[in-house]
């Protein structure tokens, strides 16, 4: 290719510059309103938060205001900002406007000339504006059309498809699907420039999409590194990559890149690579990769950019098991099997631009603080903000990333395939540099919907083109999306859907399952969890109400603060939400009243018990090499997007529910655990009159990589008197590495007995873990009266110590000091034990309230 000599020797090339746009104003287009300047200077914004800031709508999250602001989603909106181009920027050969994401039906005008039409929230655009940009002030205007109308028009021409949650038109629209309303989320069809817009100018070159693919070889002794990048150069240049190891050793590579727009790469081998590990498995270390573009003539630096890479060897292991049908489904990082204790992640807000980098960081910190090592970015939300993945990389939290399809029958006509393929390429290119992303999955529950509706889905049909069937999107999930992964990040495994695998999506012996027989489906008692596990349980959950402090925020009228009020009902979006929640509470927890505080406590205790039972059942199935009968579980869901009664562990305001602590206790790397089993004695043919016997088993679950030598004490207490019924102990017992070890089997118990197990390190005596077990269901237990319990709470600076005379279930500590962070809560207390809870921010003069079950 002929190289155009743009620069006479004396003219220095214009260096790469980047200017982020901000200073938005907006108006309602279909009403011909005047412009209103945004009250903030942020680069990203959206209509609901702007209307709220301007006092034009009531807070959509409070009371029943959701109903009052639906008109916003039906209207047309226009945004504008001024882009001031400097003389230097104008002198550049290339002037490009980069759009990281527009939500959703957007026409962009630069000085009244249309420069871009976008109809997919997940597309990233680079638009050449040479000849359109002028020196000084330019106006960038974006018209946003209503997504609902657009979708319903498509339904008219292309036919109505089916979905669960939200308006059926959503399946045609590439917009975060939860905006249409979900069984935990409100309907707010917001719009706006939700991700950054930048003007990039340069002369000779721009380099972007820098990606370092690290292939760590099997023995972990070597990594093959390829640094790839996209270059737009109007002249030949030299691209140089400097790779610096975590301990500061640098390797330099360079290549000459010919003029033009092209992809290029540099490769090297690294011996003894320092590897990145998930939480609790090793350090999170990174190689820094600096890419510089040098002028061929004088080696001056024209552009410089830095990224980093965490190197890990990754496998999703699906292999035959010993003594069990089907195949395993577990993650292996750097040749170590990793048991997954994690959660599902939904968008952290209905209005994404309200979030800060700190919000993402804090959420990931909360995940880590509860010992959870995976978050699944669920398919009804969005490809998350960089800060989310950055935090996951930093903390060793693995990410299961869905493509953005959820609970629906999606179309697969050519225009849709084109849009989705581009979306996948844009987002995979952006996210492949985060080493925490360890799986891409095609969708959320779309195969389940296909089964439910009895669509044409024959797993044996591998034609690769299902577009003529009534389950056309299978072509996306099994052909187009895996091709993108294969092409752009072949190190990361692809799974066609979640759930997927086996004879159908409910097959517990292969692939992953969503276990919703508890809560949805047949409303199975959670005591049945030992029979409900699968090879990997990527969803399961239980609802509860947010803590009282939160309820008081979103229910502003005190007269509405009761469990059955209209406001409380609007803030419970689940189908049959009240009925199901009531069933589970009433079947398990003895209620004193329907008072709001009692109801909240009952729901949270019940949720904590349920999730504890589920994780206990799953984790026990991690039995060592070739016996990975369950590879992990992901709680539905860790967070909320607005204030609501939901399955969340942490509510919208950041308040932890009791279940958060139950998950934390169950997910600690090394725990002792107890399970109670009831067996019917066949002495009476009438089910209700069958006598039942109960026994408990005790085991240790260890996700650590070394074995431990422990002492175990198991005490059976009489619940009414606090007397010790029986004690069993083991000394110097070995707990195997990275698996569960059964310790005691078949201790007979009755319905008056609660059990406590304490596990200590044999050599140091250090307390490693406590576990407790109670008769089921809890409602049948005759608890002693609170006056006899002898509960004592001693408040120290930063800690409380709790003792009791009787066994105590689900003791919750609270204080009006809102800054306090408890390390544990909703705990079981037993006689002759001191239960300490760390309380960051607590002063010994603070008043600590307690409540407990019974
Ligand atoms: C699931 C999810 C969501 C839903 C949740 C609770 O299976 O995939 O669609 O919000 O259950 O019902």
Tokens of 365: 């910190």
In the block, residue with structure tokens 């569960």: 740
Residue boundaries of the structural domains of the chain: 17-200, 204-309, 668-780, 783-854
Q: Measured from the CB, is residue 292 less than 6 Å from ligand 1?
A: no
Distance CA 356, CA 504 (A): 40
Ligand 1, atom 9: nearest CA belongs to which residue? 407
Quick one: which atom of ligand 1 is closest to the CA of 514?
Answer: 7
Give the pLDDT means over successive 10-residue stretches in the chain (854 positions): 42 82 96 94 98 98 98 97 96 95 98 97 97 98 97 97 96 98 98 98 86 96 96 88 96 92 93 98 98 87 93 98 98 98 98 98 98 98 98 98 98 98 98 98 98 91 93 97 97 98 96 98 97 98 98 98 98 97 98 95 98 98 98 98 98 98 98 95 70 93 96 98 97 98 97 97 97 97 90 98 97 96 98 97 97 93
Alpha carbon 404 to its chain centroid, in Å, reads 13
What residues contact residue 40 under an 8 Å CB cut-off, 6+ apart? Answer: 53
Question: 325 — phi, psi (to 5°)?
Answer: -75, 165
Q: With a threshold of 0.95, does the pTM exceed it?
A: yes
> For the chain, first and last CA: distance in Å?
83
Q: What is the pLDDT of residue 12?
A: 66
In the block, residue with structure tokens 């209209």: 566
Secondary structure letter of residue 182 according to DSSP:
B
Q: Measured from the CB, is residue 182 less than 6 Å from ligand 1?
A: yes
Sign of CA dihedral 263, 269, 275, 278: positive
Measured in Å, residue 346 CA sits from the centre of ligand 1 at 10
Q: What is the pLDDT of residue 802?
A: 98
Tokens of 110: 């630069």
Quick one: which atom of ligand 1 is closest to the CA of 184?
Answer: 10
Q: Give me the helices (H) in 370-480, please.
A: 386-395, 414-431, 446-452, 474-475
Q: Measured from the CB, is residue 407 less than 6 Å from ligand 1?
A: yes
What value, to the nearest 5°, has the Cα angle with vertex 507 and ends 501 and 513? 70
Cβ–Cβ under 8 Å, residues 121 and 194: yes
- By most ligand atoms within 8 Å of CB, the mutation choice from 170, 181, 183 for ligand 1 is 183
Among 50, 8, 4, 60, residue whose Cα is nearest residue 27: 50
Distance CA 467, CA 472 (A): 4
Distance CA 253, CA 267 (A): 8
Measured in Å, residue 731 CA sits from the centre of ligand 1 at 45
- By most ligand atoms within 8 Å of CB, the mutation choice from 539, 540, 575, 610 for ligand 1 is 539
Q: Measured from the CB, is residue 573 less than 6 Å from ligand 1?
A: no
Fold of the domain spanning 668-780:
Immunoglobulin-like (2.60.40)
Q: Measured from the CB, is residue 345 less than 6 Å from ligand 1?
A: no
Cβ–Cβ under 8 Å, residues 822 and 837: yes
Ligand 1, atom 12: nearest CA belongs to which residue? 183
CA dihedral 710, 711, 717, 722 (to 10 degrees): -110
Measured in Å, residue 229 CA sits from the centre of ligand 1 at 38
Tokens of 136: 């000084």
Q: Measured from the CB, is residue 376 less than 6 Å from ligand 1?
A: no
Query: Which residues are marked as active site?
Result: 445
Q: Measured from the CB, is residue 512 less than 6 Å from ligand 1?
A: no
Q: Which CATH architecture has domain 204-309?
A: Sandwich (2.60)
Tokens of 590: 């003895």
Q: What is the pLDDT of residue 347?
A: 98
Do β-strands 113-118 and 222-233 pair in parallel, antiparallel, or remain unpaired? unpaired
Measured in Å, residue 614 CA sits from the centre of ligand 1 at 17
Measured in Å, residue 183 CA sits from the centre of ligand 1 at 7
CA–CA distances in Å: residue 268 to residues 28, 252, 264, 272, 578: 55, 9, 14, 13, 59
Q: Measured from the CB, is residue 287 less than 6 Å from ligand 1?
A: no
Q: What is the pLDDT of residue 2?
A: 38
Secondary structure letter of residue 480 according to DSSP:
I
Q: Measured from the CB, is residue 539 less than 6 Å from ligand 1?
A: yes
What residues contact residue 9 under an 8 Å CB cut-off, 6+ apart? Answer: none
Measured in Å, residue 539 CA sits from the centre of ligand 1 at 8
Measured in Å, residue 573 CA sits from the centre of ligand 1 at 11
Ligand 1, atom 4: nearest CA belongs to which residue? 183
Distance CA 793, CA 850 (A): 8
Q: Measured from the CB, is residue 445 less than 6 Å from ligand 1?
A: yes
Q: Measured from the CB, is residue 232 less than 6 Å from ligand 1?
A: no
Distance CA 581, CA 607 (A): 10
CATH number belonging to the domain at 783-854, selected among 3.40.50.2000, 3.50.50.60, 3.40.50.720, 2.60.40.10: 2.60.40.10
Domain 17-200 has CATH 2.60.120.260: yes
Ligand 1, atom 6: nearest CA belongs to which residue? 183
Quick one: which atom of ligand 1 is closest to the CA of 444?
Answer: 8
Please name every residue paired with 493 in a beta bridge, in sequence order, or none if there are none: none
Q: What is the pLDDT of residue 205?
A: 79
Q: Measured from the CB, is residue 184 less than 6 Å from ligand 1?
A: yes
Measured in Å, residue 511 CA sits from the centre of ligand 1 at 18
3-state secondary structure of 105: strand
Q: What is the pLDDT of residue 685?
A: 67
Q: Measured from the CB, is residue 636 less than 6 Å from ligand 1?
A: yes
Could you give the angle at which helices 386-395 and 357-369 cross, rounded to 10 degrees? Answer: 30
Do β-strands 724-735 and 708-718 pair in parallel, antiparallel, or remain unpaired? antiparallel
DSSP 804-851: -SS-EEEEEEEES-TT-EES--SEEE-TT--EEEEEET--TTS-EEEE
Is 783-854 in the same CATH topology as 668-780? Answer: yes
Q: What is the pLDDT of residue 414?
A: 97
In the block, residue with structure tokens 């997954």: 340
Quick one: which atom of ligand 1 is closest to the CA of 380?
Answer: 9
CA dihedral 818, 820, 821, 822 (to 10 degrees): -110
Measured in Å, residue 613 CA sits from the centre of ligand 1 at 20
DSSP 593-622: ---HHHHHHHHHHHHHHHHHHHHHHHHHTB
Q: Measured from the CB, is residue 444 less than 6 Å from ligand 1?
A: yes
Q: What is the pLDDT of residue 688?
A: 67
Measured in Å, residue 148 CA sits from the centre of ligand 1 at 22
In the block, residue with structure tokens 């017992």: 733
- By most ligand atoms within 8 Å of CB, the mutation choice from 164, 407, 517, 537 for ligand 1 is 407
């Amino acid at each position: 290719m002929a190289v155009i000599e743009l620069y006479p020797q004396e003219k220095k090339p214009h260096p790469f510059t980047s200017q982020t746009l901000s200073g938005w104003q907006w108006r309602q287009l279909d009403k011909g309103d005047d412009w209103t300047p945004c009250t903030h200077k942020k680069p990203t914004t959206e209509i609901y938060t702007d209307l709220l800031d301007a006092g034009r709508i009531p807070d959509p999250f409070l009371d029943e205001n959701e109903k009052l602001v639906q008109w916003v989603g039906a209207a047309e909106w226009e945004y504008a900002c001024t882009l001031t181009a400097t003389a230097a920027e104008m002198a550049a050969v290339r002037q490009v406007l980069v759009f990281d994401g527009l939500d959703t039906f957007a026409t962009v005008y630069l000085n009244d000339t249309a420069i871009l039409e976008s109809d997919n929230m997940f597309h990233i655009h680079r638009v050449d504006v040479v000849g359109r940009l002028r020196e000084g002030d330019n106006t960038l205007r974006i018209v946003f059309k209503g997504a609902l109308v657009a979708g319903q028009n498509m339904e008219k021409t292309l036919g109505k498809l089916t979905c669960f949650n939200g308006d059926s038109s959503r399946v045609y629209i590439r917009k975060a699907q939860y905006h249409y309303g979900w069984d935990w989320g409100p309907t707010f069809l917001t719009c706006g420039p939700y991700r950054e817009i930048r003007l990039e100018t340069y002369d000779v070159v721009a380099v972007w999409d820098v990606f370092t693919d690290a292939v760590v070889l099997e023995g972990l002794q070597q990594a093959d590194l390829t640094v790839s990048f996209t270059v737009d150069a109007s002249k030949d240049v030299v691209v140089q990559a400097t790779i610096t190891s975590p301990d500061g050793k640098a390797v330099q590579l360079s290549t000459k890149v010919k003029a033009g727009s092209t992809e290029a790469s540099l490769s090297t081998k690294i011996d003894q690579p320092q590897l990145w590990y998930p939480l609790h498995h090793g350090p999170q270390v990174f190689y820094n990769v600096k890419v510089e573009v040098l002028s061929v003539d004088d080696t001056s630096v024209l552009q410089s950019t830095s990224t980093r890479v965490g190197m890990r060897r990754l496998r999703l292991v699906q292999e035959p098991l010993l003594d069990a049908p089907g195949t395993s489904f577990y993650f292996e990082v750097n040749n170590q099997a990793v048991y997954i204790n994690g959660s599902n992640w939904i968008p952290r807000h209905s209005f994404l631009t309200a979030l800060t980098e700190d919000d993402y960081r804090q959420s990931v910190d909360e995940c880590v603080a509860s010992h959870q090592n995976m978050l699944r970015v669920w398919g009804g939300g969005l490809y998350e903000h960089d800060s989310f993945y950055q935090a996951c990389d930093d903390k060793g939290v693995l990410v299961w990333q869905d493509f953005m399809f959820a609970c629906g029958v999606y179309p697969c006509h050519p225009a849709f395939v084109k849009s989705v393929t581009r979306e996948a390429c844009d987002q995979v290119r952006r996210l492949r540099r985060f080493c925490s992303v360890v799986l891409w999955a095609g969708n959320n529950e779309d195969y389940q919907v296909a089964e439910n509706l009895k669509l044409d889905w024959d797993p044996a049909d591998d034609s690769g083109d299902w577009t003529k069937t009534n389950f056309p999107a299978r072509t996306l999930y099994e052909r187009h999306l895996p091709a993108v992964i294969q092409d752009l990040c072949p190190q990361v495994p692809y799974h066609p859907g979640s759930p997927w695998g086996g004879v159908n999506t409910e097959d517990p012996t292969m692939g992953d399952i969503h276990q919703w027989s508890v809560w949805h489906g047949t409303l199975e008692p959670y005591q049945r969890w030992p029979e409900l596990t699968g090879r990997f349980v990527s969803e399961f959950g239980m609802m509860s109400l947010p803590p009282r402090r939160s309820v008081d925020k979103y229910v502003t009228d005190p007269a509405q603060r009761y469990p059955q009020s209209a406001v409380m009902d609007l803030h419970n979006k689940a189908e049959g939400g009240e009925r199901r929640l009531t069933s589970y509470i009433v079947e398990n927890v003895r209620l004193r009243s329907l008072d709001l505080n009692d109801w909240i406590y009952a729901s949270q205790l019940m949720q904590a018990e349920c999730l504890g039972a589920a994780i206990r059942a799953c984790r026990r199935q991690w039995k060592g090499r070739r016996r990975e009968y369950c590879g992990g579980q992901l709680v539905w869901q860790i967070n909320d997007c607005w204030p609501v009664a939901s399955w969340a562990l942490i509510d919208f305001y950041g308040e932890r529910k009791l279940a958060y602590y139950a998950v934390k206790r169950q997910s600690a790397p090394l725990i002792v655990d107890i399970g109670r089993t009831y067996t019917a004695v066949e002495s009476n043919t009438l089910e209700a009159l069958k006598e039942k016997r109960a026994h408990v088993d005790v085991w240790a679950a260890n996700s650590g990589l070394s074995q431990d030598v422990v002492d175990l004490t198991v005490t059976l207490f009489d619940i009414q008197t606090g007397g010790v019924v029986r004690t069993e102990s083991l000394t110097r017992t070995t707990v195997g590495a990275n698996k569960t070890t059964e310790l005691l089997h078949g201790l007979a118990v009755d319905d008056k007995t609660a059990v406590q197990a304490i596990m200590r390190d044999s050599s140091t005596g250090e307390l490693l873990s406590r576990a407790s077990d109670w008769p089921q269901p809890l409602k049948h237990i005759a608890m002693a009266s609170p006056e006899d319990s002898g509960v004592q709470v001693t408040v120290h600076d930063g800690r409380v110590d709790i003792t009791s005379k009787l066994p105590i279930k689900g003791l919750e500590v609270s204080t009006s000091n809102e800054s306090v962070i408890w390390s544990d809560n909703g705990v079981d207390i037993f006689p002759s034990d001191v239960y300490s809870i760390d309380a960051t921010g607590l002063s010994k003069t603070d008043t600590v309230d307690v409540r407990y079950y019974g």
